[in-house]
Amino acid sequence: MFLVNTNHTLTQINWQSYRNDVKAINTMINDASGPGGDFLGWRDYPKTYDKKEFAKIKRWANYVRTNFEVLVVAGIGGSYLGARAAIEAINGLRNNDSIEIIFMGQTLSPNYIYQTLEYLKNKKFAVNVISKSGTTTETSISFRLLKQMLEEKLGKEEASKAIFATTDAKNGLLRELANKEKYVTFNLPANIGGRFSVLTAVGLFPLACADIDISKLMEGAYDAMKEYDNGDIMTNQCYQYAVIRDHFYRTGKKVEMFVTYEPQFRELGEWLKQLFGESEGKEELGLLPDSAVFSTDLHSLGQFIQEGSKILFETIIYPRIPNNDVEIPKDDEDLDGLNYIAGKKLSFVNEKAFLGTLEAHTADGKVPNIIIEMDEMNAYNLGHLFYFFMRACAMSAYLLHINPFNQPGVEIYKKNMFHLLGKKGY
């Protein structure tokens, strides 16, 4: 079950007025004839993905799971956020799995990198370096440090058996290096950009190493692909979501706040922020994507959402059934006054927090809510969710007449940084 609940949007959308645009854009997505059409490889990837590579991913993931205590995933942006979001969403923030997945390459912070290297000193670790371009500074620095550490520990030959590189099939410095050092490599298709790459080896290898069922993930994405492949705004929920956010943008909203009630979905919010932020934030247009985890953030952002300036709407990602549950115990003394909910499950309390907040934000706060509902968060539903948001994002950007698949603005800070670092040519 995957449902876009539009009962709390506080608005009447004139679907008919979007009918022709949605139909035309859907055709443009399907025949890759719009701006950035060369980067639409993700659209039918759940069907066309390389089955041999998929089997290779599973095989090497088993090898990593059997032989190492830690997998360090080194990547940034689209080369890291999806894997992290998926692993946390499915496996939770604490688990007893035999292997731990940690992340590096997403920061230049000396503190973070020093602490991570210290942590790895006495661990048996493998590295999955992920970079499409093969030249991203954050990833390259981390990888150089990890490679040296492994080579010092194990010697060059053994170290090369602990390194897995995910990059372009032919081009880039990482491809050259991986070929030279004879690393096992996985391909990132040339026609899929970073933030649309979670269902490729970029996400699949770390997920498989974390023992997540990547076949189910692809199945969910495949079913979503079939479901959202048509241009009928009256029936296509994915495009209905895209149209509602477009409507909000055109009627004065500035921010879409992605909300969950699960701390283990916090990184999903980060993935969504990149997906929509980099795809739509161009030409001085676009909604600012933000994210929050309730009820935690109701104690920080809740006041603003309820009574602050009316610049935002909320998109709630709401699986109805938690993967785990806890009963609130009875206490004979009841000093904390909680016995009125003793015997109830936390899922019950969390649901009431959701319903109470929904009413508060919509009825009192006049903040529109879209609710993306599913039964539970598992690999299948997550595959569906990833595909749903990628397709909705493409539709949304095209409704704004924006190329969803480039990110020219990201280059400016890099140029300045390279100039300040004294890199040749800057």
Our answer to whether residue 69 is catalytic in this structure is: no
Tokens 């309820």 — which residue?
306
DSSP label at residue 11: S
- Smallest separation (angstroms) from ligand PA5 to the CB of 350: 32
Which residue, 136 or 362, has its beta carbon nearer to ligand PA5? 136
The correct pick among 46, 82, 194, 286 for binding ligand PA5 (CB under 6 A) is: 194
Q: Based on the shown chain and the rule CB under 6 A, indicate whether residue 278 belongs to the binding site for ligand PA5.
A: yes
- Among residues 345, 375, 381, the alpha carbon closest in space to that of 213 is found at 381
Q: Identify whether 327 is a catalytic site residue.
A: no
239: Cβ contacts below 8 Å, ≥ 6 apart: 22, 26, 228, 231, 233, 392, 395
Phi and psi dihedrals of 128, rounded to 5? Answer: -115, 105
Which residue, 200 or 240, is less far from ligand PA5 as judged by CB? 200
Cβ atoms within 10 Å, residue 394: 26
Which position's Cβ is nearest ligand PA5? 194
Q: Is 414 a catalytic residue?
A: yes
Site for ligand PA5 in 159-178 (CB under 6 A): none
Which residues from 68-97 bind ligand PA5, rule CB under 6 A? 76-79
Structure tokens at 406: 């480039």
Minimum separation from the CB atom of position 288 to ligand PA5 (A): 17
| β-strands 2-5, 369-376 pairing | antiparallel
CB proximity list for 78: less than 8 A, separation 6 or greater: 132, 193, 194, 195, 196, 197, 198, 202, 274
| Residue among 30, 91, 107, 133 that touches ligand PA5 (CB under 6 A) | 133
Residues 319-348 that bind ligand PA5 (CB under 6 A): none
Q: What are phi and psi of 100, to 5 degrees?
A: -110, 140
Smallest distance, Å, CB 322 to ligand PA5? 31
* DSSP per-residue string spanning 180-236: HHT-EEEEE-TTS-GGG-TTSHHHHHHHHHTT--HHHHHHHHHHHHHHT-S--TTT-
Distance set, CA 91 to CA 66, 75, 83, 188, 369 (Å): 18, 20, 12, 25, 28
CA 178 vs CA 159, 163, 172, 380: distances in Å: 12, 9, 10, 32
Q: Select 42 or 125, whichever has its Cβ closest to ligand PA5.
A: 42
End-to-end CA distance of the chain: 52
Q: Is 116 in the site for ligand PA5 (CB under 6 A)?
A: no
Binding residues for ligand PA5, total number by CB under 6 A: 14
Which among 5-13, 133-141, 143-151, 249-257 is the span making contact with ligand PA5, rule CB under 6 A? 133-141
Of 170 and 366, CB closest to ligand PA5:
170
Q: Report if residue 136 touches ligand PA5, rule: CB under 6 A.
A: yes
- The b-or-e profile of 252-288 (16+ CB within 10 A means b, else e) is ebebbbbbbbbebbbbbbbbbbbbbbbbbbbeeebbb
Q: Which stretch, 89-97, 177-185, 192-200, 414-422, contacts ligand PA5 (CB under 6 A)?
A: 192-200
From 52, 180, 299, 424, active-site residue: 299
C-alpha dihedral, 89 to 278 to 216 to 26, nearest 10°: 140
Nearest approach, Cβ of residue 91 and ligand PA5 (Å): 23
Q: Which of 46, 193, 203, 404 binds ligand PA5 (CB under 6 A)?
A: 193
Inter-axis angle of helices 81-91 and 379-399, to 10 degrees? 140
Binding window for ligand PA5 (CB under 6 A); candidates: 19-27, 130-138, 257-265, 332-340: 130-138
Q: Which two tokens stand for residue 398?
A: 């095209």
Q: Which is nearer to ligand PA5, 145 or 259 (CB)?
A: 145
Tell me which of 278, 280, 314, 384 is the catalytic residue. 278
Instruction: Confirm or reject binding of residue 391 to ligand PA5 (CB under 6 A).
Output: no
**Site membership for ligand PA5, residue 291 (CB under 6 A):** no
User: Which C-beta is closer to ligand PA5: that of 165 or that of 224?
Assistant: 165
**Looking at this protein, which amino acid is placed at residue 74?**
A
Q: Which residues between 8 and 67 bind ligand PA5 (CB under 6 A)?
A: none
Nearer to ligand PA5, 190 or 311 (CB): 190
Write out the catalytic residue numbers: 278, 299, 414
**List of residues contacting ligand PA5 (CB under 6 A):** 76-79, 131-133, 136, 139, 193-195, 278, 407
